[in-house]
Structure 1
Amino acid sequence: MSQSVDSAVSAVRPYIEQHRAAFLDDLAEWLRIPSVSAQPEHAADVRRSADWLAAKLRETGFPTVEVWRTPGAPAVFAEWPAADPGAPTVVVYGHHDVQPAAREDGWESDPFEPVVRGNRLYARGAADDKGQVFFHTLGVRAHLAATGRTAPAVHLKLLIEGEEESGSPHFRELVEQHAGRLAADAVIVSDTGMWSEDTPTVCTGMRGLAECEIRLHGPGQDIHSGSFGGAVPNPATAAARLVAALHDEHARVAVPGFYDGVAELTDRERELFAGLPFDEQRWLGTAKSRATHGEAGYSTLERVWARPTAEVNGIGGGYQGPGSKTIIPSSAMVKLSFRLVAGQDPGHIEKAVRAWAEEQVPAGTRCDITFGAATRPCLTPLDHPALQSLVRAMGRAFDQPVGHTREGGSGPAADLQEVLGAPVLFLGISVPSDGWHAPNEKVELDLLFKGVETSAYLWGDLAEHWRTEP
């Protein structure tokens, strides 16, 4: 480490240790609020959670803190300007709502009564996402204490929503409504994780999502297969043929135009993915599957993180009960989802899928296609200065090299990227064993405080290495 880096570490770590107990007491208090956005009976608790966080952010030192109401659950906004007008502006995103949880689900203790066992904190929201939101409060205080500043080295904003666990139905509208207040040079998402306890990583991208339901209508009612079979189109057969036509023999999506604009993996990205300690057999065990399968020419991690996919989520039609019922069903349905990567446009995908599906359907069968709201993909180039600052900050905190991953799932972070025009970075310290959405959710305390430490180093590194115009 350089002298300046060593000095920062020697100042930050004692401060964090000195305030560790108080930080955990505060976090436990927040975790006791059952802010379950999906359950109407907890609406008041979600509001109470937002008010609690707002008060704590004011106590932390943020001069501007507001609770933003939505048609659903409230979000919390905070802002702390830097003294230097040329410093970069960063928005930290997370969420304060949590998944439903009850003792009878298999919890060893009350999910809303935090308990420390060993070096782990167990509670609903410990990792997803209250713990990862809250580490920024101690992180910014450690940053100030270590540098002697009275304000962060960057213009720091927080946007902590209250509906992420309910699908973020009002989030994009909220971001568009407050786009001016949220203007930023980069977005930091602290609602994600690392590869493992021993392998710290930063995520550089997240896939987008488009999904649809296709309903195929044939006869006006179920009809006798002996009297009419072989003489009129069968919508269940049409559904089967449509699904069979979705991929070619190399497991590539066969929808014309589907791959238009796809950002291909670079050699460096493939090298970084290949360098991770990936155990495919163990991964298959987690997937409850017996073999890997997917697009030819790509590894399992590349398929999950960096390639677009099409999946059949459901297919049905006709008689489903015991025994037989010899009919031609009047209708059938298929549910499809498409994970998208950087360079793909959900609007283009919708048009392509509609045109493709209609071509697969035989004459005399009506095809109704309904698409849900789409999520765009996001990707940050490896050489982006903000990403490089994040890697350095995490490397200082963990005292080891930091790897790179992507996220195969989708989330509201892409809305921030699209509306604000800012790259999205992922600072998360959760690990797969933390059990998001499951009984006995926990966070590893050593990793939680590494998150605090990373946050403390990040703001100064960004200000030093990434100048913007005032």
Structure 2
Amino acid sequence: MSTTPASGDSVVPDPSVRAHVEAHRPALVEELCHWLRIPSVSMDPAHAEDVTRSAEWLAEALTRSGFPTVEVWSTAGHPSVFAEWPSDDPQAPTVLVYGHHDVQPAAREDGWDSEPFEPEIRGERLYGRGAADDKGQVLFHTLGVRAHLAATGRDTPAVHLKVLVEGEEEAGSPNFADLVRERADRLSCDVVVVSDTGMWGPDTPTVCTGMRGLVECQVDLWGPDQDIHSGSFGGAVPNPATEAARLAAGLHGPDRAVAVPGFYEGVVELTEEERRLFARLPFDELSWLESAHSHAALGEEGYSTLERIWARPTAEVNGISGGYQGPGGKTIVPASARLKLSFRTVAGQSAEHVQKAVVQWVAEQLPYGVRHSVTFSGTTRPCLTPLDHPALRSLARSMGRAFEQRVLFTREGGSGPAADLQDVLGAPVLFLGISVPSDGWHAPNEKVELPLLAKGAETAALLWEDLARHWRPGT
């Protein structure tokens, strides 16, 4: 028997929820347009005041939605917004909704068909920077909670509802982990709902169950004390550029698995059910290759393309340099070389263990006479919610009812701050997103599909009731 969370569950919508969402959809879109006009570009210091203005706008919007507690939290960088609405049921689950209100840079000359911070509706699509990533997906929760209350006749949500919307996600979330640790008592929850994500396609609703982590490093190599003549000394002394190439070539074995000893320690392997569910997705590898601007799929043997990018740990050479790079030739043994590497990790792996394994592996590969250093930048941890978790079952049921069809399941090959919430708060992470690949995150002409925006609100409205009805954490 299938253990799919949606298996056997109704996909019949709630007429009251849907009617409320549809009646108030125009107001949601109008509010979103106001918010999109604020150019909250977190990575540009010239927009610092705009990011603050965006946080203040959101705080007012959450207050208008009924949240009795709304606060703007300052950080060492840009502000985050926190809101809380307790349930009158003391045994109800506590849910923390996460998103971000900052956006990527955008300018008309980048290739936009309209001004990126002057939102424009064309048919059933709303164009503007942040429409999908992530203002639209944050704001649908305000309509979702109102629809939930209207449909149930409640004065408070069926769950203890909290919201945290950060202002630095597009700048790498440099202060987010510290904020979560400092405010852990206020953010404590039973489950985190991330609405900075998407689904497979408009006709294929999906729920993401996990994200990979990230470990980045730089390997610097030094040989001679200066560039030396290759005719006089080449072949008789170590060449750091050659050794950098050997490291890069030795990163994977013949089966394309990562060759660093101990790298796979702790990996949570894919279950047969997960592999079956991934295989049900309408994946077109040729189309995927076009989007990857590549000509062939290649990776660890024994796994499909989706399994490789979603559920397997990987290693990549991001850059290799050393020696003469100018026109013509220069016959030298270079004094130094450099490798930039990144490792995507999955649930069960320890970033600290991966770092130690890489340091040891590099040292063992290099000959005497080549000095080196391995420097790591910040790490991001992976997160994964098992398919049989009751909160994930609630999300699958709720989305299935909103879309009137069974949902499928994905993972995310990239990395994000969700793992910080999982690690610090000790809560599983759910991904509730309605954005689709054509929305163009970070690209010109970013947009959101307005019918899907409504489906997001409908899913959220159904989710709070379903969680309260079917899950009592700790019991």
Asked if Structure 1 and Structure 2 have the same fold, meaning a TM-score greater than 0.5 normalized by the shorter chain, the answer is yes
Divergent runs of 4+, >3 A: 4-8
- Write the distance in 2 (CA, Å) between the matches of 1:232 and 1:21: 72
Cα deviation code 1:30-77 (max 9, x no counterpart)? 000000001000000000000000011011111111000001000000
Q: What is the CA distance between 1:10 and its match in structure 2?
A: 1.1
How far apart, CA to CA, are the structure 1 residues paired with 2:207 and 2:21?
Answer: 22
Matches within 5 A, 1:244-263: 244-263=249-268
The aligned length equals 468
Q: Which moved more, 1:340-349 or 1:10-19?
A: 10-19
Q: Does 1:20 align with 2:25?
A: yes
Instruction: Tell me which residue corresponds to 2:337.
Output: 332
3-state secondary structure, aligned to 1:14: helix
Q: Which residue among 451, 454, 457 is the counterpart of 1:452?
A: 457
- 1:341 corresponds in structure 2 to 346
Aligned equivalents of 1:57, 1:7: Cα separation in 2: 29
Identity of aligned residues (%): 71
Structure 1 Cα separation of the partners of residues 417 and 241 of structure 2: 35
Instruction: Kindly indicate whether the alpha-carbon contact (under 8 Å) linking 1:49 and 1:96 is maintained by their aligned counterparts in 2.
Output: yes
Aligned to 1:150: 155
| 1:468 alignment partner in structure 2 | 473
Deviates more, 1:293-302 or 1:460-469: 460-469
The alignment partner of 2:14 has SS state of: helix
Letter in 1 for 2:66: G
Report if the CA contact (8 A) 1:192-1:426 is conserved.
yes
2:163 corresponds to which letter in structure 1?
A: L
The answer as to whether partners of 2:11 and 2:404 remain within 8 angstroms in 1 is no
Tell me if structure 2 keeps the 8 A contact 1:8–1:146.
Answer: no
| One-letter amino acid of the counterpart of residue 376, structure 1 | R
Aligned residue in 1 for 2:3: none
Q: 1:19 is paired with a residue of what secondary structure?
A: helix
- SS of structure 2 residue aligned to 1:436: coil
Unaligned runs of 5+ residues in structure 1 are none
1:351 equivalent in structure 2: 356
Write the letter of the residue equivalent to 2:33.
Answer: A
Q: What is the one-letter code of the residue matched to 1:283? A: W
Cα separation, 2, equivalents of 1:5 and 1:235: 63
Instruction: For residue 18 of structure 1, report the CA deviation from its aligned partner.
Output: 1.4
Q: Retained in 1: the 8 A contact 2:382–2:419?
A: yes
Q: Is 2:43 the counterpart of 1:38?
A: yes
SS of structure 1 residue aligned to 2:257: coil
Please give the alpha-carbon distance, in whole angstroms, between the structure 1 residues aligned to 2:297 and 2:20: 47
Q: Which amino acid aligns with 1:260?
A: E
Query: After superposition, where does 1:77-226 map in structure 2 within 5 Å?
Result: 77-226=82-231
Matches within 5 A, 1:265-304: 265-304=270-309
* Deviation, structure 1 residue 7: 9.3
Question: Structure 2 length normalisation: TM-score?
Answer: 0.97
Deviations 1:99-128 (A, max 9, x none): 000011111111001110011000000000
What is the identity, as a one-letter code, of the residue corresponding to 1:399? E
CA-based RMSD: 1.3
Are the counterparts in 1 of residues 12 and 401 from structure 2 also a CA contact under 8 Å?
no
The alignment status of 1:363 with 2:368, answered yes or no, reads: yes
Q: Distance in 2 between matches of 1:352 and 1:174?
A: 30
Displacement after TM superposition at 1:8 (Å) = 6.8
- Deviation of 1:469 after TM superposition, in Å, equals 5.1
User: In structure 1, which of residues 364, 378, 385 is the aligned counterpart of residue 390 of structure 2?
Assistant: 385
Q: TM-score, normalised by structure 1?
A: 0.98
Q: Which runs of 5+ in 2 are unaligned?
A: 1-5
- The match for 2:435 is 430
Counterpart pick for 2:67 among 47, 54, 62: 62
Q: Equivalents in 1 of 2:425, 2:384: separation in Å?
A: 14
| AA at the equivalent of 2:255 | H
Give me the whole-angstrom Cα distance separating, in 2, the residues matched to 1:253 and 1:274. 24
Find the aligned partners of 2:119 and 2:13 in 1 and give their Cα distance.
32
393, 409, 416: which one aligns with 1:411: 416
